[in-house]
Structure 1
Amino acid sequence: MSVWLTRIIPNPRSPEVRRDLAGRNTAMNLHRRLMSLYPSDAGPDPRARFGVLFRIDDTHTGPHILLQSTHQPDLTRLPEGYGTHQSRPLDALLDALKPGLSIRYRCAASPVRKPGATTRALYNLPAVVPLTGAHADEWWTRQADAAGLKALTLHSRPLDAAQATRQPDQSGSPQRIHHARTRFDGSATITDPDLLRQKITEGIGRGKAYGCGLLTIAPARTTT
């Protein structure tokens, strides 16, 4: 199974780009746009079927859309003039992972805590509590450990929440979706390459359909 990484540099003059990236529903709009690049007959959960993960990276030239999947996207399905794009397989990078290798990482994720029923009742807490600051950093350190990484450095910053409205299959009220997000950047040492490959492919945490959970890595820079 190959893993594909695609970078889309949106054209800010495109009406479709402005519609996708503007307003509170950016996460939902991008989810729909990117899923349109894959076959439509993929069963009840096409995102999971094709391993689709994405995020928006802010760069000095504007936002870039980073898309990862286990099925090569059909980029001809993007609207004309949507932007430039490039896809490449990650097989060589994933095959080269080994214990002790130093890497740089980035992940925009939704760090949360799920209190037990007793704690929720005692403190009137929701079923899922978003984490910020030092608590989010602690969450990421645990996730990195579970992904076969020993985090060496960590820089985190909050991002705008990913929001969407999900229409029920049958009659009922629309479901509001809200995923608080934090971006984690830093360096790490690989402790378990197999775990790391799995987490890169599967993503980390909640909200994977809405721009959360994509873990990207690159070899650490060396200085002489």
Structure 2
Amino acid sequence: MTLWLTRIVPDVHSREARRDLQGVNAAMGLHRRLMALYPNNAGPDPRAQFGVLFRVEDTSNGQHVLLQSSHEPDLTRLPNGYGTALTRPLDPLLEALETGLTVRYRCTASPVRKPGATTRARYNLPAAIPLSGEEADEWWTRQADTAGLKPLLSHSQAVEAARAVRTPNGANDKQHIRHNRIRFDGTATITNPDLLRQKITEGIGRGKAYGCGLLSIAPARNAP
């Protein structure tokens, strides 16, 4: 299976692009925009079917969208004037992964703690409690371990939460969605290339439909 990585550079003059990147429902709007690049009628969970993960990157040239998928997107489905986009296969990178290799990584994720049913009932807790600070860093260390990585240097930074409002049963049935997001950057040593390929493909944590979970890596030129 080939993984595809697409970089979209939105045009600041495009109304559609600005709407997808700004506002309370931007995360949901961008999700819908990206899913429109894939075939219709893909079953109950097309995001999982096509392995779609994405992340918005702040760069010196403005915001870029990184889109990863197991199905090549049809970029002609982007609106006219939306911006520029380029897709390339990730196979050469994935095939070069080996134990002991030092890589740079980045992942914007939604770290949470999930209390058991008894604890939730006793203390009236939600099903998922967002983590921050040291607790979030510890969460990332555990996730990295299950992804076949041993972090060497790590930095975390909170970014704007992903918010959305769903109305699955009509306008009177509103579901407010919020995923706190933290960007994890650093270097790590590969301990298990197969686990790493799996996690790159499937993503990490929750909120994958809202810009969370995409794990990006690149060879580190200067190991710490």
Q: Normalising by the residue count of structure 2, what TM-score does the alignment of the two structures yield?
A: 0.96
Deviation of 1:135 after TM superposition, in Å, equals 0.5
Where in structure 2 are there 5+ consecutive unaligned residues?
Answer: none
Shift of 1:170: 7.2
* 1:127 CA displacement: 1.3
Q: Which amino acid aligns with 1:57?
A: E
Question: What is the aligned partner in structure 2 of residue 186 from structure 1?
Answer: 186
| Closer/same/farther in 2, CA of residues 125 and 163 from structure 1, 3 Å limit | same
Deviations 1:60-81 (A, max 9, x none): 1100000000000000000111
Deviation at 1:125, TM superposition (A): 1.8
Aligned partner of 1:147: which letter? A
Worse-superposed segment, 48-57 or 119-128: 119-128
SS at match of 2:150: strand
For residues 83 and 157 of structure 1, what CA distance do their matches in structure 2 show?
Answer: 28
Letter in 1 for 2:217: I
2:199 counterpart residue number: 199
Aligned residue number for residue 127 of structure 1:
127
Q: Counterparts of 1:51-90 in structure 2 under 5 Å?
A: 51-90=51-90
2:99 counterpart residue number: 99
CA displacement at 1:120 relative to structure 2 = 2.2
Aligned letter for 1:73? P
Residue 156 of structure 1 aligns to which amino acid in structure 2?
A: S
Q: Write out per-residue CA displacement over residues 10-30 of structure 1, whole angstroms, 9 at most, x where no aligned residue.
A: 000011111111111110010
1:166-219 CA distance string (max 9 Å, x none)? 222579612211111000000000000000000000000000011000000000
Aligned letter for 2:88?
A: R
Task: Return the offset for 1:124.
Answer: 2.8
Where 2:213 maps in the other structure, the secondary structure is coil
Name the aligned partner's letter for residue 59 of structure 1.
T
1:45 equivalent to 2:71? Answer: no
Pairwise CA RMSD: 1.3
Q: Specify whether residues 86 and 171 from structure 1 end up closer, same or farther in structure 2 by C-alpha distance, changes over 3 A only.
A: closer
Whole-angstrom CA distance in 2 between matches of 1:19 and 1:95: 37
| CA shift in 2, pair 1:92/1:20, >3 Å | same
**Partner amino acid for 1:86?**
L
Question: What are the ranges of 5 or more consecutive residues in structure 1 without an aligned counterpart?
Answer: none
| Alignment pair present for 1:142 and 2:145 | no
CA displacement at 1:130 relative to structure 2: 0.1
- Measured against aligned partners, the alpha-carbon deviations of 1:41-77 in whole angstroms (never above 9, x if no partner) come to 2111100000000010000110000000000000000
Q: Counterpart of 1:138 in structure 2: which amino acid?
A: E
Between stretches 90-99 and 16-25, larger displacement belongs to 16-25
Amino acid at match of 2:149: L
Aligned residue for 1:26? 26
Query: 1:222: Cα distance to partner?
Result: 2.7
* Residues in 2 aligned to 1:170 and 1:91: alpha-carbon distance in whole angstroms: 43
- Tell me, in whole angstroms, the C-alpha distance in 1 between the residues paired with 2:106 and 2:123: 34
Following TM superposition, where does structure 1 have runs of at least 4 consecutive aligned residues deviating by more than 4 angstroms? Answer: 169-172
Take 1:88 and 1:159, find their aligned partners in 2: how far apart are those partners? 27
How far 1:139 moved relative to its partner?
0.2
The Cα of 1:97 is off from its aligned counterpart by 0.4
SS at match of 1:118: helix
SS at 1:87 equivalent: strand
TM-score (norm 1): 0.96
Q: Partners of 2:19 and 2:172 in 1: how far apart?
A: 27
